[in-house]
Structure 1
Amino acid sequence: MSRALPPGYKAIKNCCAGEVVSVIGMVTEIKPPHAFYEKQCVSFSIRDDSFDIQNDAMSIIQVDWTGNHISQLPTPGAVGDFVLLRDIKLPAELYRWKKVRVTPFYSPEGSVLFFSPDQIPMPELATEYGYGGSSKLPFKGSKNAKPPSADEQQAVIKFKATVASNPQAHQQLKQTISDKLPGMTQKWSLLQDVQAGRFCDAVVEVKKIWVNNNGETVDLVVTDYTTNPSFHPFDDQDSMPTRGSGPPDQSKMQLRLWDPHAAYVRKHPTKIYEGSVVFLSNVHIKTSANGTLEGALHQDKRFPDKVQISTVGDGIYAWQREQLEARKREFFSTKERAQNDRNAMPPPQEEPGESKGAKRKRKKKEKEQKKKEQRALEQEELERESELKEAVRAQVNPNVRAAHPEVEFSTVDDILNNPLRTLRTKDGPIEMPFVNTKYRARLRVVDFNPSNLRDFSHSMMDPRWNQNGTGRRDDRWQWGFVLLLEAADAQGPTPERFPVYVDDDAGQHLLKMNAVDLNQDKLAGGTEILRLREKLFHLWGNLLEAKQEYKPQGVEFPLPSGDPRLRNRPFDCIIEEYGSRVDPSPQHPLGWMRMYKLASTVIMD
């Protein structure tokens, strides 16, 4: 597309790695606010060509705009909007398609403006938006966005006219629209929309828990503060009442959990409790014996140990939680107004001829009702406090999952100083170099090796890596890298840290990727190294970017615990202890060296 650009703007295909750029284009994909590692994020894609080539990657830039809170995100536009993206710093490595993560740190002057095509005039009617004119195009965008200049407005108006004249652009848009949040499927639903025979995912508040005597199931009553006329009508006088004062009528759904979900709820009362907000995955909606809708969470036949109920904290699904809490506040605000209206009514007149006994009973009933309402308000306050405490407790990386959630955590001291290595004999204790065992721990990555991600994979033809090679051609590649880990609650400049090896099996499981030649991948457009970098960002946060920025300045890694330059979260993992043969030495007199490797841990998509 040959068109004039405003001063300081570039075509997307001409943008280079490491530059601070401004571009103009049309939104082809947008994802509303969602959890992005420890932050909140709005994602969108911009295209600035003529749409003559389907999905021309050279003319598309993908943006992840992040902030610590949803209030720091730009107000998103919609697919088909025209957009000005200003003063955005591109990453140091840029591949065939361009993807940039916008943060206040890397792009302090960055801003974005979305213009709805319905509010952009035709060029022949746009004189007032050019030089000498006083009209401004209405826009949505980032909080710091300055209104568009005359040059920028004219460029937006002309771009819209060019795209509007190309029917293929509209066909391309239909194929690129995507408004689903990361990790969500078409099963995602509010309770008001669920139907019998369907499966759904939902974020809900737990209002009531019953642990059944059979020991196999747990029953819940849950709500997302929407109403479904097919639900059982609960209220405070119901035979299955909710805890405190929840939404009335048909706003709550009965849900039966089977193992392993029921076992998880029974074993984790501090995580799943009345008042907690949880994420439910793959709930089967069915019709109960009395004709109302209810839910069931059965065991996954393919993954029998998979638990499909989890607490929602400040990470993933935080946006859905905020929406639920907004609906909840509106409900209680409505209830409070109704209560005030009742209080403003004149006191009931005594019935003519009312006896003293009847009068006492009426006043007693009114007093009990007031106490009940007061208890309900107090209970609601307790639930809110509990939710805040749960959010604080939930400062754990939600993007990494480890097997065996029923196993208690081991501390770093438990791992490094396992008493089972000491064998007691009649001749005295014998210290073994290692024991074959596994630990479940909550740890944080503070460094990694090799320093170049391209060296995380190794050729089986390399004798330094495959010392047992036969000399015959072997085109396979294997993962092999080391993570330096510390305790989630580590403090001080020199806490206990230990290296954990990630071998090929653990790497495939962790990354959901097969190892390839990452140096050759650079010549092919860098798709695999980009995938690897994105995966590891979910594991260790900004560790790679911090090393790239601060090591050239002479900063030594690992950084002290709690250093604000490293922003990541601890994650749950399985650590396997094993022994590796070495030459006998004073340090390893038995010819064995204790080592640790990662196992049964995965970065979720």
Structure 2
Amino acid sequence: MASGLRPPDGFIDLSAAYTSPDNAFVNIIGVVVDLMQPTKTTNGRDWTMSFRLLDRQLFGWVSGSEGLSIRFFRADPTHLPKVQNVGDVVLLRFLKMSTWMGQRSALSNYQTQCIVFPAGRIPEPSFAIAVQGRDKIQTLGIEREKENFNLVEQNYAISLKKDMAGTAADRLRKFKDQDQRREERQEQGPPAKKQKSNGTFNPKFKLIVDLEPRTYADLYGEVVKRIGVTYGCDLYITDYTSNPLLRQYDPPDKEAPEDRDGDIYGYTAGASKGNWKGPFGQLTMKINVKSPHAQVANKILNEGDYVLLQNVKTRVTDAGPWLEGDMWPDDISPEKVKVIKLEGSNNAVQLKALLERKAAYWKGQEARAAQGLREENNKAKKNGKKKNKKQKQETAGAQAEDESSTTARKPSTKPDKNPHIRCSHESVPLSNIRTILDPNNARHTNAPPTGDPYTMPFINVKYRAKVRVVDYEPKSLEDFAVPPLPEEQDESQDSMAWQYTGTPNFEWYFSLLLEDATNSKDHSRVWVHVQHKDAQFLFGNDIKNPMDLRAEPRLLAKLREKMFVLWGNLEEGGGEGLSNLPFECCIQEYGIEMDEEDPGKEKAPLGWQRMYSMFGVTIL
């Protein structure tokens, strides 16, 4: 039932909402898995409340398994959603998607409607017949809204509660435990001040060897790799203990192509040897780190550093299955960072034990390498006499064969695509540019049951394509980094006090003209915009945050080097005699509302302009 449960007409599942572009309006239904009671906003005029919704589709996602955050703002607190408990099912219409500090959320606005199905009033699916017809479930909400649902939507709410019952129950127990601990602390009064200790007592501390799925743990480890990803980073850590649930990393001489990981270690042809420097075996664990922890990890951690990661949630991936860890915002203190870099002078016994295990591991590796070298030398000596005996004949034969092969040798064929560029979502099939552009509006024409067909200005859809870059804007690389435009803030954003002081003085913004590379006869082209966060993902960890490129020649040179990998000699030749390899990328279609004074607005469908952006691609 989990996989076959589909939202009613007019609604989308939470994973689809989670990936919708900013400012898109969505209708959703979900189960409450987290709840914060109403409070006054910082301006003192409005009231706000927030909660998280989850369904089976979003629960299976790495980036959304903690739920989609819903934030409501109302001048009258009685008009806020009547969510009472974890496990309630909430139906929402006309929410607006947004992203702040890498976290996806849905915001209310003046037209948002909300209906709450209290968990205690939702029957089991087998008893749903009791609430058919006139006997609808008693709901909570504003009077003019709470009866605005049909039986299909009600049946979905009943099935969704059943589908997510175990998850909601786990969360409810967790919050009750938190409330109980909070009450106990209040009864006991303020805790006595403790002396610092370097003892080992920490009930949540675990070695990697002791980890199991679906537990929380504090981990001491060495950073093996740190990879920046959209909205976070991936940390690969080891404490030099082995766990059979972890991914196997073999030495380069034993690695098979099909065993390569899906990241930069084994993506480029021939790059697997040497990219993974160890430790080998099942000693390294991947941790998916999100905001606010990711900002600190990306800033302070490098390969070889030692780190304490607190409250890591373990789980088994669907693809492997392998054991991985997740670090999300803290439920009680979302702004608290739980990534702690350990300096060499740290005297924690956990770190001392880790260093001892590390020394023993690499000592054993050196011994095995030396043994292997001795065995190779003995084998070479044993075969030496046989080789010397036939050396003259082999030399003569090799010369003749070399002359023959030189005559018959053909030029090497050009690679099919750029091996130094990686694209996400490899399971999604490729689309050609003409299909994406839809010049005849076949996919953009909507024929309602009543009324005349009309052309939609855009649809929220994403593609993968095989392309090459044939032009770019602006023409000067120095203009690829620009000062950010001041954002227009609506009342809800002001009341949230979303004034992020860490906004950079410059941000990436440029456009690329992409030409179809899937069909030699079709050279359709499309302009795509590369926004700041997608540009950072494109450049990876090799390029730091943007600055004034006219004042930073080293950063400009690094940018030029990166773009050369992407577009070849495009900058030097200006498009003449272009020599570059195709690559795969993701393209997202979206729309922007045209200004009233724009002369082309009258001709544009509904006054909106169709746009495209590139994302999900990294230059290695």
TM-score range, shorter chain: 0.3 to 0.5
* TM-score of the aligned structures, taking structure 2 as reference length: 0.33
TM-score of the superposition, structure 1-length normalised? 0.34
